[in-house]
Amino acid sequence: SSELTQDPAVSVALGQTVRITCQGDSLRSYYATWYQQKPGQAPVLVIYGENNRPSGIPDRFSGSISGNTASLTITGAQAEDEADYYCNSRDSSTNHLVFGGGTKLTVL
Amino acid sequence: QLQLQESGPGLVTPSETLSLTCTVSGGSISSSDYYWGWVRQPPGEGLEWIGTIYYSGSTYYNPSLKSRVTISVDTSKSQFSLKLSSVTAADTAVYYCARHAADGSGSYHWFDPWGQGTLVTVSS
């Protein structure tokens, strides 16, 4: 399958933990990569590989995978985490790259 | 610190060819460790991978765009370019260039850093 499915919107109370998910058959073979995008800005890499964070990304961001579902977890969400989050992976049938539709995270 | 900057016309006429260039600074475009990619985002919509090029010239394209896309690299200018032919209003989007990396086995890929993006509008 060439699809990665994300919930369109998720909300979390300030300081609480939220999980953003990404489903797709290709995730049984390949890891997901996660990007954060704030309005009017370019995407920023937050998680890649099994659970790697680039320099400068807070350790409250973590990634995991189970079966065909990858998750981005924010432990202790902050107001500045309010953004769109996109997953990305390699399509297992074509070996090309696909993005999920994105999840809009609201921090209440 | 590696930086990427897109440049090109902000308005393209339908049926014509969209042409953008990405200039890489603060690092080598000829590094064997990285690829260079293009991603686009229609207004209010999600991200779509367009294609990727290696410094040697090897290219990889999104199958849905492959018939219209050409990506090339000019290592002497530290630039790589995108051409998208026969454009329609559906090609209106913010176009990003980014450094593209992958682990040794290809189990995961990532784009980092990204250029700021450039809005290209297809309209007569």
Does an H or E element contain B36, and which?
Answer: strand B35-41
Is the CB of A39 inside 8 Å of chain B's CB atoms? Answer: no
Instruction: Summarize pLDDT for A44-99 with one digit per residue, the tens.
Output: 999 999 899 999 999 999 999 999 999 999 999 999 999 999 999 998 888 799 99
List the single residue in B46, B49, B103 with the smallest CB-CB distance to A97.
B49
Cα B62 to Cα B9: distance, rounded to the nearest angstrom: 23
Instruction: Summarize pLDDT for A20-30 with one digit per residue, the tens.
Output: 999 999 999 99
Taking 80 as the threshold, does the pLDDT of residue A103 lie above it?
Answer: yes
Measured in degrees and rounded to the nearest 5, phi and psi for residue B16 equal -85, -175
If we measure between CA atoms, which residue out of A25, A24, A18, A31 comes closest to residue A103?
A: A18
Contact B49 A102 (CB under 8 A): no
Please give the pLDDT value at position A7: 97
Whether B25 and B73 have beta carbons less than 8 Å apart is answered as: no
Over residues B99-108, the mean pLDDT reads 90
Contact B108 A42 (CB under 8 A): no
If we measure between CA atoms, which residue out of B56, B23, B51 comes closest to residue B38?
A: B51
Please give the pLDDT value at position A2: 55
Is the CB of B66 inside 8 Å of chain A's CB atoms? Answer: no
Contact A88 B47 (CB under 8 A): yes
Contact B108 A94 (CB under 8 A): no
Contacts of A29 in chain B (CB under 8 A): 107
Contacts of B46 in chain A (CB under 8 A): 86, 99-102
Whether A27 and A88 have beta carbons less than 8 Å apart is answered as: no
Q: What is the dihedral of CA B88, B92, B99, A21, to 10 degrees?
A: -110
Over residues A31-54, the mean pLDDT reads 97
Cα B70 to Cα A87: distance, rounded to the nearest angstrom: 25
Contacts of A54 in chain B (CB under 8 A): 112
Instruction: Summarize pLDDT for B111-124 with one digit per residue, the tens.
Output: 999 999 999 999 99
Instruction: Summarize pLDDT for B50-99 with one digit per residue, the tens.
Output: 999 999 999 999 999 999 999 999 999 999 999 999 999 999 999 999 99
Cα A89 to Cα A4: distance, rounded to the nearest angstrom: 8
Please give the pLDDT value at position A1: 46
